[in-house]
Each structure stands twice: as C-alpha cells, then as structure tokens.
Amino acid sequence: MQLRNSSSRYGAVSIFIHWLVALAVFGLFALGWWMVGLDYYDPWRKEAPDLHKSIGLTLLAVMLLRVVWRWISPAPPALTSYSRATRIGAKLGHGFLYLGLFAVMIAGYLISTSEGVGIPVFGLFEVPALISNLPDQADVAGVVHLYLAWAVVIFAGLHGLVALKHHFIDRDATLTRMLGRDA
C-alpha cells in the first residue's frame, strides 16, 4: 500500500489519520455525553474527564499532523464527475470539519485551563495553562465546546452519509478512494 496520496486515491497515512480522527471524534462525543451525567460518588467522575482531556489533546496533535501531512501529500483532485456545486460543497464541508474540530479542542483547552492549572495527558506529561482567568472563561468556552461538538458530530455524520450516497447512488469512487482503492 502506498503511503502518500496519488492523483487517484488517498495513501495509507491519510486513510489512517482520517479514520483515527473519526473514531476519536465520535468516541470523545460519547464519552463527554456520558461523563456529564455521572453523579458525585461515581468513581469515574474524575477519571472520565481526565481521559476525555487526554484523548482530546492527543486528537489535537493528530489534527496538527493531519494539516502538515495534507500540505506534504495533497489530497487527490476532485472527481471530474462532480458538479461545480459538489466541488464547492466538499471544500466548504471539509473546511468546516477542520475549523470546527480545532475550535472544539481549543474551547476544551480553555475550559480545562481556566483556573491556571495545566492538563495532564495520560499521566505522562502536562500541557501548561497558557491562557487562564479570562472573564467567564470556563462558562463561555463550555458553551462553545458543547454546541460546536454537537455541530461537528452532526456534520461528520452527514459527511458519512454523503460518502455513502456517492458510493451507492452516484456509484462514483468518492468512498473507495478513502479506502485506498483507485478511482
């Protein structure tokens, strides 16, 4: 299997990062939804947020790697069968997913560091609190984190549905290219 993207398909690195991010996003959303309902005496009350933060910061690093990789190994060009509207929609949709993910993660960081305390990552190291004590930092960042997380997850679900539409209705190579097969 090729590592880099080609003119007809995505390479192994792009495919791996794509599916890793998808798994992390949906996993973080599920974990976040579950953990906010834990009661005070639940043993996971402290463990779940720590795990959520550690995975979230790892996802931030993966997303930064993804942006660098996309610059090193550009995505294959859009299929010639795409209409102009489809090409524009794809660019805007991917742009929203990238920006939305980064905004969710930055908001999560701002929630966690609002009191000037760094964030431990899997007990291995700590990400320092570079920005803290802004007025209502945790509250404002919390609202942004919540609503953008919902928006990103809903949009990512739509992204998946559109890929399935391309595969089963349009019968084009949109999905197969992300599975490492030629167009």
Q: Give per-residue pLDDT as tens, 57-106.
A: 999 999 999 999 999 999 999 999 999 999 999 999 999 999 999 999 99
pLDDT digits (tens, 9 = 90+) for 16-41: 999 999 999 999 999 999 999 999 99
pLDDT digits (tens, 9 = 90+) for 104-127: 999 999 999 999 999 999 999 999
Angular region, 41: left φ>0, alpha ψ -120 to 50, beta rest? alpha
Domain 12-179 falls in which CATH fold?
Fumarate Reductase Cytochrome B subunit (1.20.950)
Q: Which tokens hold the place of 158?
A: 């739509």
Would you say residue 183 has pLDDT above 70?
A: no
Where in 48-118 does DSSP place strands (E)? none
Band of residue 179 on the pLDDT scale cut at 50, 70, 90: confident
Residue-level pLDDT at 181: 77
> What pTM was estimated for this model as a whole?
0.94
- The residue whose two tokens read 């942004």 is 144
Helices (DSSP H) in the chain: which residue ranges? 12-35, 44-72, 84-112, 137-165, 174-178
Residue-level pLDDT at 29: 98
